[in-house]
């Protein structure tokens, strides 16, 4: 039977998200309420790879978790083509530009409670161009991490942002770097 939406109301919205409360019938036929966060613009998750094969990560001060998070450069597309947005986010967060941006396909974040589509993009042929807006983004550092060290950091729980973990997995599989 699947889920059926009976009614929907907007509980909250701003420029980035809308929170919807739906009256539903669950797959078993019983009534329920489902809250859904709708993200207004799809996100891009950029996995920058240096000529030496290192992955570029950013240290971000995240208000929501009250501290630093090690992540891939990412952000909203703001209505742009995902590859254009990926190049913009890469420049804003790292001061780098890429010779090549490859869209690896769609991902969805927190799909149990949200409608938050995104794209994973691998960036190669990196070069410094400046133009980073790290202070406004809450970025305190940029790190180059070799893949074996990246995997060790993941194992040690040093990278906890699930969107970054998913993007890294998609990219490393695409690059045939998971051994």
- Does one domain contain both 142 and 75? yes
Domain ranges, residue 29: 4-39
Distance CA 106, CA 148 (A): 26
Q: Classify residue 111: in a domain, yes or no.
A: yes
Q: If we measure between CA atoms, which residue out of 89, 57, 46 comes closest to residue 153?
A: 57
Average pLDDT, rounded, for the chain: 95
- Does one domain contain both 70 and 116? yes
* Residue 133 binned pLDDT confidence (cut-offs 50, 70, 90): confident
Q: Classify residue 179: in a domain, yes or no.
A: no
- Does one domain contain both 59 and 127? yes
Place of tokens 């690059």: 175
Whichever domain contains 87, its CATH number is: 3.90.79.10
pLDDT tops 70 at residue 179:
no
pTM for this model (two decimals): 0.92
Q: In angstroms, what CA-CA distances link 146 with 3, 46, 51, 54, 138?
A: 44, 16, 11, 4, 24
The stretch 12-25 carries a mean pLDDT of: 96
- Does one domain contain both 95 and 21? no
């Amino acid at each position: 039977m699947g889920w059926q939406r009976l009614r929907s109301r907007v509980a909250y919205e701003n420029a980035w998200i809308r929170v919807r409360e739906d009256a539903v019938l669950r797959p078993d036929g019983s009534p329920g309420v489902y809250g859904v966060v709708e993200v207004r613009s799809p996100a891009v998750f950029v996995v920058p790879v240096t000529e030496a094969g290192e992955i570029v990560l950013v240290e971000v001060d995240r208000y929501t978790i009250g501290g630093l998070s090690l992540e891939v450069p990412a952000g909203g597309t703001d209505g742009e083509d995902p590859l254009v947005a990926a190049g913009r986010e890469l420049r804003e967060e790292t001061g780098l530009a890429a010779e090549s941006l490859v869209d690896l396909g769609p991902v969805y974040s927190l799909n149990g409670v949200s409608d938050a589509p995104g794209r994973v993009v691998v960036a190669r042929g990196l070069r410094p161009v400046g133009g980073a807006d790290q202070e406004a983004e809450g970025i305190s550092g940029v790190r180059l991490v070799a893949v074996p060290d990246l995997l060790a950091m993941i194992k040690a729980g040093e990278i906890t942002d699930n969107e970054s973990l998913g993007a890294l997995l998609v990219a490393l599989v695409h690059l045939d770097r998971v051994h």
